[in-house]
Amino acid sequence: MPNHRRPTAEIPPETRSSKLRTRIGYGWDSHEFKRGIPLKIGGVTLPHPRGLGGHSDGDVLLHAITDALLGAVAAPDIGTLFSPSDSEWKGADSAIFLAEALRRVREAGYAVANLDSTLILAAPKIGPHSARIRARVAELMGLPADCVGVKAKTPEGMGTDNAAIAHAVVLLEKKITRR
Ligand code: MG
């Protein structure tokens, strides 16, 4: 995290709890489809005529995972740390956001145990790409692929065919420190 900004939602050290053995985190995001930009989901570029709009690369899945990680350690959320009004993050690779969230998880003394996620989008079909997405997300998170769930559903009756939605939950475990 560049030190040019001090987020206002930081929790003072004296009020932090480091006693929890496990922590859970949840994140959600949505982005609108737009023509003429690449579609990136889970750090993978998928073949599709439309991509996801947004200030960064619009990677809805990495944004949901990032917020789940940040939430698990009660850190400021993705929009606070990486403001859409900041030109520094225009077109940014969302892996940068995920890396910062993982750094904060480690700093808080935790490691990611596993992650589960659900994508909701009308098209493209995720099935043919899900193994590649799972492998890339696992790589970015430093997890075995069997600790990363990536499920996909179509938005039946929701009227959100022009958007991609992602939900993510993470489980953190306290790192054991030997002395
Ligand atoms: Mg987003």
Q: In what order do the strands lie in the sheet with 163-174?
A: 50-52, 22-35, 163-174, 110-120, 148-153
**Gap from CA of 29 to ligand 1 centroid (Å):** 5
**Gap from CA of 31 to ligand 1 centroid (Å):** 6
Domain CATH for 146: 3.30.1330.50
**Gap from CA of 176 to ligand 1 centroid (Å):** 33
**Gap from CA of 93 to ligand 1 centroid (Å):** 12
List the pLDDT tens digit at each of the 179 positions of the chain: 555 555 556 766 666 666 799 999 999 999 999 999 999 999 999 999 999 999 899 999 999 999 999 999 999 999 999 988 888 888 889 999 999 999 999 999 999 999 999 999 999 999 999 999 999 999 999 999 999 999 999 999 999 999 999 999 999 999 987 66
**Gap from CA of 179 to ligand 1 centroid (Å):** 41
Q: Whole-model pTM?
A: 0.90
State the Cα angle at 142 between 135 and 133, rounded to 5°: 20
Q: Establish if 6 belongs to a structural domain.
A: no
Amino acid code (one letter) for 24: I
Residue ranges making up the domain that contains 115: 22-174
Q: Which residue, 92, 95, 99, 70, is CA-closest to 7?
A: 70
Can you tell me whether residue 110 is helix, strand or coil?
A: strand
Q: Establish if 12 belongs to a structural domain.
A: no
